[in-house]
Amino acid sequence: MKINSNSDLLISPIITEKTTMLQERGKFTFEVAKEATKDQVKKAVTEIFNVKVTSVNIINKKGKPKTFGRNRVLTPGSKRAIVTLASGETINITEGT
């Protein structure tokens, strides 16, 4: 997949119980494109949400093997970015601002 814009880079926010606890400490989790780098993610979050990013951590999640009857398949993997914002900065993920 070719990354043409920042909206192509950030696929979606990840909202789970663990990530909502991280949001209280100024860390937000996004699913990003497989080709995304830390610098690209930092630039995209800064431009889209108008916040100051202090650090970006990347997680590559591998797919898991599953069995459906006699067929064995591999679920798709994903790439996630945990973005740490400067103190006082926040993102309202439900509204996108």
Which tens digits make up the pLDDT trace of 72-95? 999 999 999 999 999 998 888 776
Rounded to an integer, the average pLDDT of 66-74 is 94
- pTM of the full structure: 0.85
Report how far residue 39's alpha carbon sits from residue 60's, in angstroms, rounded to the nearest whole number: 16
Indicate the pLDDT class of residue 8, thresholds 50, 70 and 90.
confident
pLDDT at 96 over 60: no
Residue 17 and residue 69: Cα distance in Å, rounded? 32
Position 69, amino acid: G
| Cα separation, 56 vs 76, whole angstroms | 23
User: What pLDDT, on a 0 to 100 scale, did the predictor assign at position 5?
Assistant: 76
The single-letter DSSP state of residue 87 is T
Mean pLDDT of 42-55: 94
% residues pLDDT > 70 (the chain): 95
Burial of 56 (C-beta count, 10 Å sphere; 0-12/13-18/19+): buried
Domain ranges of the chain: 6-85
Contact between 61 and 82 under an 8 Å Cβ cutoff? The reply is no
Which of these CATH numbers, 3.30.70.580, 3.30.70.330, 3.30.1360.120, 3.40.50.300, describes 6-85?
3.30.70.330
